[in-house]
Every structure is written in C-alpha cells, then in structure tokens.
Amino acid sequence: MARKKQVPLNPEVKDHLQRVLEFLKKQHVFPLRFGKHHNTPPWILLLGPSGSGKTTLLAHAGLALKSPTQHAIQPVRPTVRLDWWVSSDAVFIDPAGELALAQGTEEAHHRYFRPLLEQLVRFRKNVPLSGVMIVVDFSRLVQVDTPDWKDWVTRINYQLQTLLEFNSQLTVIVLVTHIDQLQGFQEFFADIDGEERDQPFGFSLLSDKENASWAEIFADRFQEFLQQMSRRTLFRLHHEQNIVRRSRISDFPFHLERLGEFLEKWMHQLPRDPRLHIRGLYFTSSVQGNMPLNLLEHPLERQFMNNRRRVPVVTTKDQPFFLCGLLKQYATALRYAEMSLIPHRNLLWYAAPISLLLLAIATVTFHQAYLENRHTVAIVEANLEGLSTSDTWLTQLKVLQATEKALVKQQTFQGRAVGLDEGVRLQKKLQSTYDTILRKNFVPFLTQSLNSQIANSIHDNPPALYAALETYLLLHQDARKNQDLIIHWFSHYFQQQFSGNVGLQKELLAYLTTVLAFPNLEWPIDADLIKNAQATLQKRPLPEIAFLMLQSQYSQKPVPITSLLTSIPQVDTKGAQVPQFYTQDTYTRISEKAIPELATEVSKGNWIIGQTAHPNPLTATDRETLSHNLRAMYIQGYAAAWASAIAQIRFQPPTDSASLLSEIQLLDNLNSPLWQLIKKTTHFQDVVANAADMQDVVVVLTQHFSGLFTFLQQNAAYNTLHEALQHLQAYVSKIQYSPSPLKVSYDDVVRLFEAHDKIEDPIAALLQVADTLPSPAKELAKNLAQNTIALLMTEAQQYLNTIWQASVVPEYHERIANHYPIFRDASDNISLADFNRFFGPGGTIESFFNYYLKPFVNTENVYWTWRSLDGVPVNISQSVLDMIIRASMIQKMFYTDNTKMPTLKFTLTPLRLPNRSEQLILNLGGQIVRYDASAKNAAQFMWPGPDGDFVTLRFEGANDLPPTITKTGTWGWLRLLDTARIQPTIDPRVFEVTLNVDNLEIVYQLTADNPVNPYTSGLLSAFRCPDSL
C-alpha cells in the first residue's frame, strides 16, 4: 500500500524519541538496528481510549518496568503524551488515548503520533511494531450505539489502518479491562489463588476460515467460552453457601452472555484485513472497585449507570486478575515471531551467479520464497508458543488446524524450494502437538462420555446401556473394532449433547476419525463399571437381550418420512422422521431373516454382556417362541416410531388468508392429501401383507392407533373438530372479504390481547377441541390455531405500520430529523412547538402508543417488551420498542413540571474559577448571576429563560473585549453544554461541567431537578424514529 505523505516531524517527538532510544541502548535492548541481535524484545503498542486502564494494566502485570524519564509506574498517573516502559519481556509504547486515537490531520495529536510511527520505521525497518494491544474498558464497551461508542470504534479502526501502512502484518490482542465491574465477578472468582489469577481469561480468535468475519469467528469461540464458564458455575454453586452470593454466581454466565452481545457488535465493526491477525480476546481486572454493573437490567437505565461509573470508583482491592500470564505469553509469542523474521545474510549465496541475468532472477525468486517462508515460520512458531493453557483443548486444536492450513499454503508456494524450507520440520512439530492434545484430552473426553452414558442408563435404560457398552468394548478390542458403529454411536451422542452447534459436532467427529487411526492407542477402562453394566444386562430376560442385539446390528439414523411418501406443498414434514431400523424396507429383512437367525445365534452367548455360550442350546420350540416375542417387540417399537413421526407433521406458515383457508380444508376433509398420507402411514399395508405373524401385527397396530382409526370413521371427536373448523373457516373468510382486512385483523388481535369474549373466539374453541383429539389430529389442530394467530398478528403489524408511516414518520422527517437537539451536529433547531407536538404529553409519539400500540406491549416491568398471544410473539424488533421507551424518557426529561411546554430546572454552583479580578456573568435568557472569587453561591435557573433565546458567559472588567461565549436560539443552553466537558457522578442528577472561555477554565457543579435529564451523554441525541415497524 502506498504511504501517505509524511507529516513534518514535531521537534518534541524527535527529542522524546532520541532520549528513549538512548535509554534503550543503555539497557542493552538494541533497538537501533533491529535484527542484528537475536535477543531483541518485541515492541508493543497500547491502543485505546483515555481512561480505559492501559497504564494501570501494565502497572499490575508483574513486569519489572523501567522508564526513560526515570519516573516510576506506581502510583499510576494519567498519561500526558507518551510513556515508554521497558522490561526484559517487551518494550511497551503507552500513548495517551487522545494521541493514539487521533483521526485525520486536522487533529493536533495526529501531528504528534504519525511522525512517531514514521520514525519507528527508520529504526526498526523489518517490524516497526511487533504487536498491538487494543484496550477498552468494560463500562465504555457496553454503551453500544451511543455517540461515544461509535466515536472510539471508528477511531480504533482508523488507527489500525494507519498502523498497517507501516507494518506489513499486524498481530493484535483485544483486552477488556475493569471486568470486575460485571456483576457477580468477585463472587464467581472468589476461590481462585494467585497462580490461577495469573492465567489468561478469554479465548483465541485464530481461525482457518479465511472469509469469515471477526463477528462470526467471535460467535463460534464465545459459545465454547460460555460452556467452560457454565461448568465452573456448577462447581462454585456447590461450594458457596451464602444465598445472595449464590444468586450472583448463578447469574454471572448470563451477564457474560449479555456482554458477548455487545462484543459481537464491536466485532462487526472491525476490519477483516488479511494483514490483520487478531490472536484473541481477553478480560482483565487490575484493581477491584465496588460498583458492579447489572447487564440484565433495563438497557436505558443501564446507560445512566454506565455514565455514572465513568467517574473514578472507590478501589476496594489491589489484586490483578488474569494479567501476568497473559502479557508474558503474548510477549513470548511475538519474540518467537520476530526471531523467525530476522534475515540471515549467508542465505544469499544460495543463488550462485551464472550470469548477471540469472543472478538477478535467482535473487528475486529466492527473496520472494524466503520472505514467504519466513513469514509462515513466524506464524507457526508464534502459534505453537502462544497456545494458552487457559484455552480449552478444543480451541487449541482449532489454532493448530489454522496454523497447519497456513503452513500447507506455504508448502504449495511455487518458490518454496529456494530459501529456508522448514515446512517438513514444522509439520512434524504441528502433528506431534496435535496428536498429543488428542491423546491427553480428546481420548479422556470420549472415555468420560461413554462412562457417563453407561452410569446414567445402568438402572432404567437397557437399550442406551447396551449401545454404550458395546461402543466402549469395541474401542478396547482391535479384533472386533467396528469403526462405523463407533462413529455412529458418537455421532448420535454429539447430536444430543451439542444439538445447537452442528459445526462442533462435525469437528468432534473429525477428531474421532483421526484418533481411531492411531496405532496401539491405549484407551482407559473402568473395569468395575464394565462389570456392573454387564451384570445388569445379564439379569434382563432373554428376549430383551436378543432385541438389544438386534438393534445394535442396524442403523438408528433418522429417515424423513417424505423420502418414503409423497410430500404435500402446504405441509411441513421435515420433523417427521423414523429411525432406519423401523422403515418399511428394513421391516421385511428383520422379520423374515434377522429375527430367525438371531433366535439361533443367541444361544451361542453374547460377548458384549460377558455371557458365554449356553450349555443347553435352544430347542426349535424355544427358537420359535423367541422369534415370536422378538417380532412383537419390534412391531411395538415400529408402531411407536411411526406414531411419533406423524405427530411432528405441521402446516406451513400461511402467507395470506387464502393459504390459511386451504390448510383448514386439508385438516377438515378426511379425503384430503394430508389425511391420505396419514392413512397410508398408519395402515402399514406393505408390512401387514408381508408379516410372518400377520394376525399379531394387525392386533398390535390396531391397538396402537385405535383412537386414530376410530377418528377416521368420523366419530364424535371428528364431528367436534369439523364444527370448530367450520367456525374458523367462516371467521377467516369474514376477514378476507371485509373492506379493510388489516384493520379487522388488528381489532381482533387487540380483542384477544384484552381477553374480551375469548370463550366464544373460534381460535380458542379450536384449541379446546384439540386437547380431546387423538394424535396427530391434536397436534395439527393446535398448529392450525397458532398459524391463524400468526397471520392475524402479521396483518395487525401491517396495519400498525401503515398508521405509523402515515402519522409519525412524515412529521419526524419534516420537523425532527436533522434538527437540534435530537441531531447534535445539526445547525437548524427544533422549535419548542414542534418538540412539544412530537414528544410532549398527548403528542404524536404518545398518542400513537396509547391509541394503537399499547395492547401489544408488556408494561408490567420497568423494561417494556413485546407480548405474545398463545405462544406467538409480536414480530416487531425490540429496538423499535426501545425507541418508544426513549421517547417516553425524553418526555420525562422536559415535562416533569409543565405538561404544556418543555422546561428544565437546575442549579449551578461554581467549583473553580480563574484567578482574575473580573466578575463572571452568566445570563441565561434574562436570568443573570454574577460570580467572583468571593461569591460562589449556588444559583437556580430555568430553561427556557423569561427574556430571549440565548445564553452568555462573560468576564466583565476593564478590558474592552472581555472573554465571552454566547449561544443563541431556543436550545442555546444545551448548545453551550455541548462545548463543555461534562463529568457524571454517582448521583444521576449531579454533574461536573467544565467550560472554556478564551482558554479560561470554569468548573460548575450542575444539579438537575430530575434524574432523567438531557445531560446524560447520548440519551437525547440517540433517538431515531424508524421508517417502519
């Protein structure tokens, strides 16, 4: 990438850097010619907003840090410009937040920081910066979508792009500081000792998915992280007796999960540049305060709490968590990477000159191959060294897979034979590490999975016990090992244990396949557990043991019934599945061949349950009786499997009234394709025709589906359903052919929410009838009722959206959008009349909510949420409702005392005034207060003022041009505060306001009369009216 034009070198930068370099040289760090010495420590830049805890983090990291300016890092002081901290592990560059995040040449700090980077290139040509630590404090992170949040996110992205101008590759870790402010942290980690506190707390973000966004990689790794925390939760709850602390411990994973939502939003904003390598995300706490934040509370109330916590909290402990090990591991990984990148000059002789032309070609080819090779070597060595002991073995395996992919890519590079081709060595090292983790971690995991399944099913689940025991024993007997059966068992187990994570299931099966190929692998065995399991199974009756043997011979893989029968467009049969063991094709093979053979073989014993051959083989009569019993057991299971499958048949969600009426007809007409499918499925004509014991099969099937067969004869249950469906059909048809179907649907949904005439409602009547029906009519009737509600809700939402776009959106765009104070940077003001009409009591927003939206909202709790109707939720984004809530809070801000016009009441108390003889005069719309060094009394104000739309702050004295600042217009008071630095306090009504008048600093204490006020950052300006619901 082409470099931008250099910014002139600031003399202060030059002097500062020269002093630093001389100091480093004296410390034998050798920065002046990077690469000359192999012991060069990595240079790490700390990047983050002011107040995020960058210096505090270093001060508590357990590193012996020295400073070129000879000042100690303790006690921690705010960084003024730039500090350097040197240890044997690393050189840390610690700039002030406003300097490191300067954006664009128009900012003064930019003219300091960019020349610094340019000078680093001069002194460290190969790798100006070894790594970057992005540091963001917890309280700032959770203020998602506020102007402050968007500002630092944008600035970090800008600076990362700037750093990539100077570094061909950038290795980054993300640190979230002040994690102790997350409620439940101190209770959750109260038991860990010093060594555990030193270990990293977080997870790797290395991935082999080249096209995946950081958010996608984060989501995958964060779920593993949460699972790890959930396991610790059970341990902590077991050891904690205090009820309050137990409550906070149990809630802590939920707080983490909520924090993950904020982190994922940030990850969406990070650039996915192939040169940017984010190694991981970690949480730290340097000191512990006493103001935990509850992420499960009302989001807008949490924003108030966030702003209050931006003031210094009272420190209760000085005990670093998750710092020392993290920084040392990161520095070590970067050191290995840099050592791999140090040029070796003698390698240039590989390209022996034959001619000048060939020399040039060989040199260029070698250089390209060499650089490619060395870069890959650096990544591999760094990843191997940086495998964190706190990462789960799953994460470590993923890191190794991603590393191997990078190595394979390098090995296929066309010029790899020229230069240092270390691929073979590194591949062996990777494979060895990979195999070691599988042997030490994955094999015990598999064994424990089998142990748990056997222990959990030993008393009341013989089929599961038999299958787990068979798999367990197959792993230990090479002569009998059946990989397909083993993989099938674990595949089913992984599906149960990790049902929501298909990717993880595939990864575990891939690891299993690798492990099964290991030669001479010793599997741990619990002999007592095996003995108990076998003894339990030996006590079972012979037919039951034989049936377990039969099941183990066939696949239990689910098969959709749509692959066996014709599908129907309006019907969803994806969930309707039967095990392959119970398909109609399998039935014939089992009934005619497998069962008779098994009746003969069973007398030879069963090695799985430890049963030797029976001394007295079964007679022909015994075998016939056993076959009969096995068929009876099989047909019972067969019928139950198909009954369960058809109970999962559902209607497709209707798109309109016509499609809903079509579904009603399908259920009402017993000759419809739906009922033909069900009849064909439950009559088992092919099975009955080929059954060896036809009469017994018919009896079993008739008993199992007796309720359904009677229903299909149009009994009283069917007649009741038919009547309910006729009423529902008339109800839907009435809506469909009404002059305004959307309005009718909206009115009916409101009526259903308010429970008026609910007993006579055709939907409620259908739900009552459904409970009296046999399966699958019961499930289908309930599904049809829910589909009706869902369609009504959809049409009601369309009606709401029509009213919203007609009555709210036009007024917002005409009078509110791009006007101050909702849009902070706008030059045009919202008139008080327009503000009153839109936000005021009885205004546009409140009227829409009260007249149209209120029945759909649950207002019983502090945080409003959408309601649901018989399990069907309102399909409008929660963010829309959050904006309604925000509008309500804006109303509380300005209309506490005056319901007809927005007003603000507040008190100003001067805290610090310049040491000048002039009087300070504040004139807020005719409310004039004079201050001087001897008069610092509090004064009460009201906005708007009684005499004009302006506010002036002026030093009045002998000077003809006294220092003055004036803001005019209706919102002049708030515009004046926009120029100030506002610092919140613990009290949501009290703020510290710092104003600057011609470089004269004035500090007030502002006390609002309302805890909900416009001085809280972002609350007012974050309102945005959505264009649709």
pLDDT by residue (tens digit) across 417-467?
433 445 566 667 777 888 888 888 888 888 888 888 888 888 888 888 888
Q: How far is it, in rounded angstroms, from Cα 509 to Cα 516? A: 10
Q: What is the pLDDT of residue 370?
A: 45
Mean pLDDT score across all residues of the chain: 79
Does the pLDDT at position 95 exceed 60?
yes
Res. 366: pLDDT tops 70 = no
- CB-side neighbour CA atoms (13 Å) of 626: 25
Residue 210 burial (10 A CB sphere; 0-12, 13-18, 19+): exposed
Q: What is the pLDDT of residue 358?
A: 38
pLDDT tens digits, one per residue of 647-676: 888 999 998 899 999 999 999 998 888 888
Which residue reads 């109330």 in tokens? 301
**The model's pTM:** 0.58
Give the least confident one: 554-563, 632-641, 734-743. Answer: 554-563
Q: What is the mean pLDDT of residues 742-763?
A: 79
* pLDDT at residue 568 in the model: 80
**12 within 8 A of 115, measured Cβ to Cβ:** no
Q: Which of these ranges, 76-85, 277-286, 343-352, 469-478, has the smallest mean pLDDT? A: 343-352
User: Strands, E, within 550-638: which ranges?
Assistant: 558-560, 571-572, 577-579
CA torsion sign, 614 to 618 to 622 to 625? positive
- Region 847-872 average pLDDT: 88
Res 566: pLDDT: 62
Please state the rounded mean pLDDT for residues 361-366. Answer: 41
Place of tokens 């009954």: 643
Does the pLDDT at position 528 exceed 80? Answer: yes
Q: What is the pLDDT of residue 362?
A: 39
| pLDDT range class, residue 804, cuts 50, 70, 90 | very high
What are the tens digits of pLDDT across the range 669-722? 988 888 888 887 776 655 555 555 555 666 666 677 888 888 888 888 889 999
pLDDT at 341 over 70: no
Between 200 and 755, the more confident residue is: 200
Task: Report CA-CA distances (Å) from 814 to 450, 805, 828, 830.
Answer: 67, 13, 12, 10
pLDDT band at 836 (very low <50, low <70, confident <90, very high): very high
Give 831's DSSP letter.
P
Q: Is 269 within 8 Å of 157 (Cβ atoms)? A: yes
d(CA 29, CA 23): 9
Structure confidence by residue, pLDDT tens digits, 533-550: 888 888 888 888 888 888
Residue 89 vs residue 348, higher pLDDT: 89
Does position 931 have pLDDT exceeding 90, yes or no? no
Contact 1016, 147 (CB under 8 A): no
Higher pLDDT residue, 618 or 412? Answer: 618
Name the range with the highest mean pLDDT among 85-89, 169-173, 326-330, 335-339: 169-173
Q: What is the mean pLDDT of residues 829-853?
A: 92
Q: Return d(Cα 289, Cα 986) in angstroms, integer.
A: 13
pLDDT of residue 406: 60
Give the pLDDT score at 832.
92
Between 395 and 882, the higher pLDDT residue: 882
- Looking at per-residue confidence, does 566 or 489 come out higher? 489
**CA dist 886 to 662, 822, 1018, 1025, Å?**
43, 12, 11, 10
Q: Residue 636 class from Cβ within 10 Å (0-12 exposed, 13-18 middle, 19+ buried)?
A: middle
**For residue 242, what pLDDT is reported?**
74
pLDDT by residue (tens digit) across 883-904? 998 899 899 889 887 778 899 9
pLDDT digits (tens, 9 = 90+) for 115-149: 777 777 777 776 788 899 999 988 888 888 777 88
What are the tens digits of pLDDT across the range 271-312? 888 888 888 899 998 776 656 777 765 454 444 444 444 444
pLDDT of residue 204: 84
**Cβ burial, residue 1 (10 Å; 0-12/13-18/19+):** exposed
CB atoms within 10 A of CB 615: 6
- Range scoring the smallest mean pLDDT among 118-132, 626-640, 1000-1014: 118-132
Q: What is the pLDDT of residue 660?
A: 92
Is the pLDDT assigned to residue 970 strictly greater than 60? yes
Dihedral sign computed on CA atoms, order 932, 935, 938, 944? negative
Helix runs in 83-146, H state only: 97-100, 110-123, 138-141
Residue 353's pLDDT is 44
Position 111 pLDDT exceeds 70: no
- Mean pLDDT (whole number) for 872-893: 89
pLDDT of residue 109: 58
Q: Write the single-letter amino acid at 569.
A: P
What band does 480 get if pLDDT is binned at 50, 70 and 90? Answer: low
- Omega before 774 within 30 of 0, i.e. cis: no
> What region does 53 belong to: left with phi over 0, alpha with psi -120 to 50, or beta?
left
How high is the pLDDT of residue 603? Answer: 72
Give the whole-number percent of the chain exceeding pLDDT 70.
Answer: 79
